[in-house]
Structure 1
Amino acid sequence: MNDDDIAPKLRTPAVSPPKPLPHPQDPVEQEFWQRCQGGTLHFQRCGECRTWRHLPRYMCARCGSPSFAWEPSSGRGRLFSWTVTHQALHPAFAADVPYVAAVVELDEGVRMATRLTGADPATLALDMPVALAFETIGDGFRLPVFTPAAGA
């Protein structure tokens, strides 16, 4: 079988392109990613009602206040939902399949779409404890991901 017999999406590229990086246009989203580059995960917290929020935004969804501060996350949470991806939708991820695309609910109460690394997909379970890690992609860009917590 040669490459002509394999569907283009299933072909492994000879040279893998770099993984795409976030390119936020909004300053509040840019600040989220800049804080990640320091190796810590921060979320906005309302200055009025103290509600945590993610995705970053200019007004609190609970009380409507524009007041907020960036506060560090504990980096701990639980697996809320996941899917095992067996087909790379971008050639840069071909070497990673299968991988786990997940939604993690952090101790702060926010939910975050992410990748779960270092886990056997057959062992995943709802509410499995997870911990923050950072994966370096591109030219030193730090992407927040999660791994099973010790003892999980």
Structure 2
Amino acid sequence: MEKNLLGTNFITQIGILVHDIEKTSQTYADFFGVENPGWTITAAVESAQTEHRGERSEARAKLAFFKMGSLQLELIEPDEHPSTWREYLDEHGEGPHHIAFKIEGMKDKVMTLERNKMPLLQKGEYTGGRYAYIDTFEPLKIIVELLENDKK
């Protein structure tokens, strides 16, 4: 395996899958003594350009983001459409889904990871950038998410 595949080792986010985002986000807020951030829903496929395992997907998810110092905690409640979120929740239940890293050069990073037997699971766009989930479960025991923000 090549070394330093992402060009960074700074984890920016931990993603956790849940069945009930309203209940779970309130539990987190109470546990940490912080305000509940509420939740938003991901954009529809026309905007998000969501692809799961190489196929266009209508998948959407409710997301809640907690700022925890230098780390963001993301709660994810997926809908029923094909996605890495739905697949993982159905197979493993609630709990950790991914660790995320901010990167530059999404296409190059995805190609590098695929060359190292870590295939792309899902990708999409969000306001101001794009994401990709990489199947790193076998070597790392968790999925890696790449986040690339547009340059301002």
- Common fold: TM-score over 0.5: no
Q: Give the TM-score normalised by structure 2.
A: 0.28
More helix by share: 2
Q: Give the TM-score normalised by structure 1.
A: 0.28
Question: Which has the larger Rg?
Answer: 1
